Amino acid sequence: MSYPIERPYPIPSINNKQELKKRYLEIFDDSLTSVISNSNIKEDWTDMGWRGIMLKNGIVWLDYDGKFLTTNYTSEKEKAIEEKWIESERDLLYTDLKNFKKPIHTIETEKFIVRIDLLENKKYRYASWSKESDISNKPDLVINNGEWTPDGSGGNHYFTFTNGVYSYVIYVNVLGTDETPPFNLEVNKRDKVILNQPAQLKKLK
């Protein structure tokens, strides 16, 4: 295993062997185990270059040492756990932000807390607070017109939110070097970058 094993937000990552032992059956249910054990190494596993080795359509990813990286599969047990985490987050939020279809990320930079949610109209919502604040408080800024854009073939992507002459961009860095942060917050004024800060996922509880 290669840690951390990322799980669908807001489910926490699995960070070590001890956590995997406790949560093993959340991921490796009978269905996924059967797909792996019955796979044909020549027909079902594909070398994807620098991204690693893929089973079928990406249900499992390995590195070139044979270590498990991640899975795109979500078991029924994990789906139920995901719903509990979503409702837990909903309870923590400021009243006017509780209405969303799916939480995407809550991140923090050295100065800001930023949250992205998918709304029922398939647009994304941006809400931000100062880092000293709390997501139960009224946010300093809310923008409801966000768009998702893929960035390359490795899973990187970004969200763009427009507010007058300003645009707010959240870069999600799935792939990068060891120095690449998981996220970047970029603010532009009339296409000129006025702020760029690395960000991490924020622990909410």
Cα torsion through 101, 102, 105, 106, rounded to 10: 60
* Average predicted confidence (pLDDT) for the chain: 92
Alpha carbons 50 and 196: distance in angstroms, whole number: 28
pTM: 0.81
Q: Is the pLDDT of residue 148 over 90?
A: yes
**What is the SS3 assignment for 64?**
coil
How much is the average pLDDT of 108-119? 96
Closest CA to 112 of 51, 199, 46: 199
Report the C-alpha gap between 70 and 55 in whole angstroms: 11
pLDDT tens column, 15-54: 999 999 999 999 999 999 999 999 999 999 999 887 789 9
Q: What is the pLDDT of residues 153-201, one digit of tens each?
A: 667 899 999 999 999 999 998 777 778 899 999 999 998 999 999 999 9
- Which stretches does DSSP call E strand in 42-121? 45-47, 53-55, 60-62, 68-71, 102-108, 112-118
User: Residue range 90-112: average pLDDT?
Assistant: 95
